[in-house]
Amino acid sequence: MPYRLTIEPSGHEMDCDSDETILEAALRHGFNIPYSCRNGTCATCKGRILSGTVDYGDIEEKVLSEAEKMDGLALFCQAMPLSDLKIEVREIGAAKDIQIKTLPARVAKIEDVAPDVRALFLKIPSTERLQFLPGQYIDILLKDGGRRGFSLANTPNDDALLELHIKKVEGGTFTGHVFSAMKEKDIVRFEGPLGTFFVRQESTRPLLMVATGTGFAPLKGMLESLFAQGSIRPIHFYWGVRHSEDFYYEDLLQEWQSLHNHFNLTKIVSQPDSRWSGPTGYVTEQVIKDFPDASAFDAYICGHPDMVFSLSAALAQAGLDSEHIFADAFVFAK
């Protein structure tokens, strides 16, 4: 039996089936609420239950603690209704009218960009157009019914090829295939665009953008889009990796630095060797050291959940309100 779901403060009402998550119901009715991973790991969809009860689903304590549940919070990508519900969440208008499509794509180009990272360039049929916001992701659909999410690294105004950055994962079914057998002209199927990780254009705040590893991909799309728009919002971009050879697109980074005075780049290595002379350590500590008062920024963070959670908490401690923190936490797709 469907329950009644009301989103506040908008007052939008809809039905939500008892075997459907709150997020699925909202998206089914065309209301876009924040989400990213859809599997309970990133906490992007965390929001407040104002009234009613839910089945919280099988979630890890570090993503949603017992104390947060007691405080009325839930993960909307996991929580299913046990009664009529009223929830509190900010709806996102920008992605609302973008159609999510399932499309085939041809592998147009494969480039090795770092020891364990391949850039995959996909061409969709010429009769199709994929409208998306920079920073969103697509799910590659596997033959066994599985799906693997990858951020789009290109911009909508440069969409002849869709660009994905694939990190090799030991024992990974899909990434193993990408590194061992995939070749140009292969066909893949995908669904997208997905997620609500994109730059809020209505803001004029300076930007703090932080990536680890291939978390660089969606931020690359966001940055190129901001540059193309002529935005002059100051940008402080931090990129953390384990080894210095894990950085890639050096020429592009240098070009951004030489062309855009408002773009500041900090690269940081956590396990440096003698070839690295730049900053060392973890991005979280470096960002907070540089900005002990972070209250004026909009922060966009993408990388491993541990980094995303620790930096989000540290930024909150440094005075940044949670409504100005946008994050995309991912575990490497296998």
Of 134, 43, 48, 133, the residue nearest 90 (C-alpha): 48
Indicate whether 42 belongs to the interface with ligand FES (CB under 6 A): yes
* Nearer CB in complex with ligand FES: 26/130: 26
CB of 46 to ligand FES, least distance (A): 7
| Minimum distance from residue 94 beta carbon to ligand FES (Å) | 17
Extract long-range pairs of 251-255: CB within 8 Å, 24+ residues apart.
Answer: 252/220
Using rule CB under 6 A, residue 44 touches ligand FES: yes
Q: Is the peptide bond before 2 cis (omega within 30 degrees of 0)?
A: no
Tell me the closest approach of the beta carbon of residue 108 to ligand FES, in angstroms.
30
35 binds ligand FES (CB under 6 A): yes
# chain residues binding ligand FES, by CB under 6 A: 12
Shortest distance (Å) from residue 29 CB to ligand FES: 17
Q: Does 153 bind ligand FES (CB under 6 A)?
A: no
Judged by CB, which is closer to ligand FES: 137, or 263? 137
User: Is 195 in contact with 183 (CB distance < 8 Å)?
Assistant: no
Tokens of 66: 């017992």
If one asks whether residue 327 binds ligand FES (CB under 6 A), the answer comes out as no
Q: Which one of 16, 22, 26, 45 is in contact with ligand FES (CB under 6 A)?
A: 45
With beta carbons less than 8 A apart as the criterion, state whether 153 and 218 touch: yes
Using CB under 6 A, pick the residue from 6, 25, 26, 38 that binds ligand FES: 38
* Pairwise CA distance, residues 110 & 121, whole Å: 6
- DSSP-assigned states of every residue in 96-130: TTPPPEEEEEEEEEEEEEETTEEEEEEE--TT---
Number of C-beta neighbours around residue 1 at 10 A: 6
Q: Enter the DSSP assignment of 280.
A: B
40 binds ligand FES (CB under 6 A): yes
Q: Does 287 participate in binding ligand FES (rule CB under 6 A)?
A: no
**Residue 284 in contact with ligand FES, rule: CB under 6 A:** no
Please, are residues 112 and 56 in contact by the beta-carbon 8 Å criterion? Answer: no
Residue 79 vs 283, nearer CB to ligand FES: 79
Of 219, 155, 142, nearest to 193 by C-alpha is 155
State the nearest-atom distance from the C-beta of 330 to ligand FES, in Å.
Answer: 9
In the bound complex, which residue of the shown chain has the CB atom lying closest to ligand FES? 77
When asked if residue 325 is in the footprint of ligand FES (CB under 6 A), the reply is no
Residue (36 or 154) nearer to ligand FES, CB: 36
Distances in Å between the Cα of 118 and the Cα atoms of 109, 148, 176 are 10, 15, 11
Which residues in 234-253 contact ligand FES (CB under 6 A)? none
Determine how many CB atoms are found less than 10 A away from the CB of residue 217: 26
The answer to the question of residue 79 lying near ligand FES (CB under 6 A) is no
Residues that bind ligand FES (CB under 6 A): 35-38, 40-45, 75, 77
